[in-house]
Amino acid sequence: MTKKEFSLPGAEGRPFAVDLRYDQGKEKQPIIVFLHGFKGFKDWGHFNLLADAFADKGFAYLKFNFSHNGTSVENPTDFVDLDAFGHNTFEKELLDLQTVLSYIEDSDQLPPNIDRNKIYLLAHSRGGAIAIITAAQDNRVDKVATMSSISDLEKRFSEKQFNDFEEKGLTEIPNSRTNQIMPLHRDLIDEYRKKNEKLNILKNASELKVPQLIIHAGSDETVGVDEAKDIQKANPQAKLEIIEGASHVYGGKHPWDKETLPEHSQRVVDLVGEFYL
Output the pLDDT for position 107.
Answer: 96
| Each residue's pLDDT tens digit, 56-67 | 999 999 999 999
Per-chain mean pLDDT for the chain: 97
**Dihedral class, residue 39 (left if φ above 0, else alpha if ψ from -120 to 50, else beta):** left
Q: Which of 211, 37, 45, 221 is nearest to 124 (CA)?
A: 37
Output the pLDDT for position 122.
Answer: 99
Place 74 in a pLDDT band, splitting at 50, 70 and 90.
very high
φ, ψ dihedrals at 203, nearest 5°: -60, -45
Output the pLDDT for position 123.
Answer: 98
| Each residue's pLDDT tens digit, 20-29 | 999 999 999 9
Output the pLDDT for position 268.
Answer: 98
| Each residue's pLDDT tens digit, 107-160 | 999 999 999 999 999 999 999 999 999 999 999 999 999 999 999 999 999 999
Q: Average pLDDT for residues 79-101, to the nearest whole number?
A: 98
Q: What percent of the chain has pLDDT over 70?
A: 100
Place 171 in a pLDDT band, splitting at 50, 70 and 90.
very high
Q: Which residues of 149-161 are buried (b: 16+ CB within 10 A; e: fewer)?
A: bbbebeebbeeeb
Q: What percent of the chain has pLDDT over 90?
A: 100
Output the pLDDT for position 147.
Answer: 98
Q: Average pLDDT for residues 99-112, to the nearest whole number?
A: 97
